[in-house]
Amino acid sequence: MTKQGRPIPSSIPREDSPSAADRARPVPQRSDGERKLFEALVRDHSELLYVFIRSCVGRSSLADEVHQDTLLTAWRRLSDFDQSRSFGAWLRGIARVQIRAHLRLRASVPTISDELLDGLEARFHALAQQPGDRLEDKLECLRSCIAELAERDQRALEIRYSDGLRGAPLAAGLETSLENAKKIVQRARARVLACMKGKLELEGS
């Protein structure tokens, strides 16, 4: 697979465009063609965008809000989008501004550093370069990494992430001690991460 250089979105809104101002702006009318193009692009990129936002903010209700505001802002600013660039990276750039704005509104939620956002952007950019249009296709690398794990490790990840179980319930599901269950999950996660870094050609793999 050939990899392109990291695209630089042409007009990512910066900190001087807080989401409150964007929200107050009316939703503009556009032509049918623009509307259809926007929908097609959004349907292709929405899920990866959502996973990116989840990785930044964690909570699902906040992620939903940021995701929605990001897409509405993208629609409002569609004329700023340079079609020779990556639409997904442009959306993530807008999402970064929205994430900061939402976290500022909720003073009790820890903020997120630029360095961390850059780190996440680099990883999601590498994932976006994987073959396929939809996130489901791009996650083939993750599926193959999980398939390389021992059966018990796969089961541990499934219980942890499918059922959302941690601690004692996780240990009960794996029929082992609490400490051992924690180690199984940590090791499985470390192996998948190392495998993914290799597949995505991320630094430090």
Q: Which residues of 72-85 are buried (b: 16+ CB within 10 A; e: fewer)?
A: bbbbbbbeebeeee
- Which of residues 16 and 80 has its CB atom nearest to another protein in the complex? 80
Label residue 104 exposed, middle or buried (CB < 10 Å: 0-12, 13-18, 19+). middle
Query: CB-wise, 106 or 152, nearer to another protein?
Result: 106
- Residues near another protein (CB under 8 A) are 26-27, 29-30, 35, 39, 42-43, 46-47, 50-52, 54-56, 58-62, 64-65, 67-68, 71-72, 75, 105-106, 108-110, 112-113, 115-116, 119-120, 122-124, 127, 135-136, 139, 142-143, 146, 157-158, 160-162, 164-167, 169, 183, 186-187, 189-190, 192-194, 196-197, 204
| Shortest CB 193 distance to another protein, Å | 5
Q: Which pair of structure tokens corresponds to residue 1?
A: 């697979």
Which lies closer to another protein via its Cβ, residue 54 or residue 85? 54
For residue 138, is it left (φ>0), alpha (ψ between -120 and 50) or beta? alpha
How far, in Å, CA of 50 to CA of 63, rounded? Answer: 7
Residue 130: DSSP 8-state: S
Q: Which CB atom, from 64 or from 80, has the smaller least distance to another protein?
A: 64
Nearest approach in angstroms of CB 115 to another protein is: 4
